Amino acid sequence: PSAFDDFQDDDDRLAVDPATGLVSLGFIGAALRRGTRLCFVLALVGLIAGVGWYAKAPPAYKATASVLLADNPGQDPAIEVQTDQVLAESVPVAAAVVHQLGLRQSPTVFAGTYTITVVTDQVLTITAQAPSSAAAVQRAAAVAVQFLAFRAQYEQNQQQETDAQLAQQVTQAQHHLDSINSQISKLSSQASTSAQQ
């Protein structure tokens, strides 16, 4: 028997020295090698999964546009800006943008890709998402333009309704005045007696 017959490989050594109850350096080294391989495999799987996720669902770029509004001084600005926010988030505005940009998605789906934030009573912020930064800027600008056009049409319709209501009130008042004048004429044309006077 030679001196090397008692030599044991690191992996063949006892993990714990029974006399001292301590873990051997060979056991620690083997555990670290197994852990390194596991970490490497997990890192590789994570990298592949991350690349696949990025290819399937790339991150959305965002662009912001601010819109300065001028409201009717006779109206409450806090209520008017809430109305403006609802108009900007409406399906007709989204449909106009989809048509303008030639997008291949429904207006309802497109409306979910941008948000409207009230900054002050006179300022709205439009934040649009898109697959590229240029598309995000284009969409934010298009939403702002279409919102302002829709808002102008809305204001014009509101003004026409107000004008129609006022015209109807004027007509009713004119009929009432004509009725009173007719009554006065009848009374004036009758023979006047001291009792009638």
Question: 117-154, pLDDT tens digit by residue?
Answer: 999 988 999 999 998 899 999 999 999 999 999 998 98
pLDDT in tens, 34-64: 778 788 888 999 999 888 887 787 777 999 9
Q: Determine how many CB atoms are found less than 10 A away from the CB of residue 93.
A: 26
Give the Cα separation of 191 and 132 in Å (integer).
Answer: 90
pTM greater than 0.75 (yes/no): no
**In contact, 91 and 32? CB cutoff 8 Å:** no
The span from the CA of 147 to the CA of 24, in Å, is 74
Q: Where are the alpha helices (DSSP H) in 57-132?
A: 77-88, 91-101, 107-111
Q: What span, in angstroms and rounded, lies between the C-alpha atoms of 96 and 89? A: 12
Does position 74 have pLDDT exceeding 90, yes or no?
Answer: no
